[in-house]
Amino acid sequence: MVSKVPLTQVSAISQQVCLITGASRTLGAEISRRMAAEGAKVAVNYHQSAEAAQALCQEQAAAGSSLVPIQADVSQPDQAQRLVDQTWEQLGPIDILVNNVGPYVDTPFLEMPVDDFDRILAGNIRATFLMTQAAGRKMKERGRGVIINIAATDIFHRSHSVYGLAKSGVIHLTEAFALELAPEVRVNALAPDLIADNEGMDPAFVAKSIAGTPAGRLVTRAEVAAMVALLCTPAFDIVTGQTIAMDGGRRLPRINFG
């Protein structure tokens, strides 16, 4: 299923090469579908989910799109570089990089094993750094490119453990790389809140989240994927180093004057 959210000047994405990390499942798969639907040539990165990556590519082949699955652990320098090189060789110069991979855990810091701490930071901050460095160098040399990092509204909270810390690091990298890669390459981030179509969520928690959201609902994967595509169009050529929160206003402070 592909979002029906309309985009401005989205035809500019057609035939561009898009590399998406962690792209075989959930939000990454939805972003892959969206970019393919807009005519991009998509490299679907996966680490261990080979079956899911193949299924996604087969699904999209039936829809008339061609996606290429490429295995790599993007938290490892040699594999991140191989992924960029392999995408370049198989599909052509990379126009768009979406750093979507980002493992999650919310164990309290006082109870967290150090291995979990290291894994979450590596899968978010280190992976974003390695992929942006590898792809960004080539983009800057070529004279153009767009990089979108997937963060989360956990960056605004101090009760979301190492995941919030990791996504805060992703925002720092977004802003730093936007400076280093300018003017040839634009670097932005999206920070979705709780996503409506995530599986296995506690219904009571979902209801409470919706009640606290001014928009009266949660963001969907399709909406995040549509915003990724939109940020890659000329309509956003002046926008770089920014983080766009997709939370329906949930993080806004409220003052009761009653």
**Average pLDDT taken over every residue of the chain:** 92
User: What is the residue whose two structure tokens read 């936007």?
Assistant: 178
Mean pLDDT of 73-83: 98
- Range 12-39 average pLDDT: 95
What is the pLDDT at residue 255? 72
| Residue of 123, 226, 207 whose CA lies nearest to 167 | 123
The three-point CA angle 183-88-229 to 5° equals: 55
Question: What are the counts of helices (DSSP H) followed by strands (DSSP E) for the chain?
Answer: 8, 7
> What does the CA dihedral 131, 137, 138, 144 come to, rounded to 10 degrees?
100
pLDDT of residue 82: 98
Q: At what angle do helices 77-91 and 127-142 cross, to 10 degrees?
A: 40
Residues with catalytic function = 163
Which of these ranges, 61-75, 205-219, 227-241, has the smallest mean pLDDT? 205-219
- Rounded CA-CA distance 48/190 in Å is 25
Q: What pLDDT does residue 197 have?
A: 76
Range in 125-134, 173-182, 212-221 the model is least confident about? 212-221
Average pLDDT over residues 159-176: 93
